[in-house]
Structure 1
């Protein structure tokens, strides 16, 4: 059996959800938020958006445009900065102190829920 080379669009993050407004399933791709595909079944919505993304990627390559890096292979540092109002900062610092943990640990726990 010959292993198939996985193309970049196979590594993108796809999701299918129900659209009450359209009364159909909608296929989405996180790396291409402007693209979507409506279909009567989840499977057809996924196939449709996957094919659409593949066509867009091929077109981008043909035009020598950079394609988005798949989130699945992207390396994350685990750090990001969030700006919050000073009063929220104070409240979180108090909660952390009362819990006996660092502010970082408290924020990480709250975000992971």
Structure 2
């Protein structure tokens, strides 16, 4: 059975500034872990998140919900400048699709 920290969103990337790999967790953007291999960076950030979760539990702090556990409606509002709105509306009309379809296509690229 997966533990709570196993459900968070982790990423490992190279840090040119640090000359090491850095482990990150999307739900805890202030945390990171540097290591000389990607595997060590992932293990380090997972352990760090587990430690932080323990501390948060002891102090009754609200614990972030894993992104993987959230339900998404597929709807969100995006404000764009009027000229971008016009350009997208023209592209949609010329393509014979909805403005929503054009915007969705561009966001998914």
**Structure 2: how far apart are the matches of 1:83 and 1:48?**
38
Structure 1 position 16, deviation (Å): 0.2
- The two structures have a TM-score, normalised by structure 2, of 0.98
- Residue deviations 1:33-92 (CA, integer Å, cap 9, x gap): 000000000000000000000000110011011111101111000000000011110110
**Equivalent of residue 95 in structure 2, options 99, 105, 113:** 99
Structure 2's unaligned 5+ residue stretches are: none
- The two structures have a TM-score, normalised by structure 1, of 0.94
Equivalent residue pairs, number: 109
- Residue deviations 1:91-110 (CA, integer Å, cap 9, x gap): 10000000000000000111
The residue number in structure 2 matching 1:83 is 79
Does residue 58 (structure 1) correspond to residue 54 (structure 2)? The answer is yes
SS in structure 2 opposite 1:64?
coil
**Structure 1: how far apart are the matches of 2:45 and 2:96?**
47
Structure 1 position 6, deviation (Å): 2.0
Superposition RMSD on alpha carbons, in Å? 0.6
Which consecutive aligned stretches of 4+ in structure 1 deviate over 4 angstroms post-superposition?
none
**Structure 2: how far apart are the matches of 1:109 and 1:89?**
15
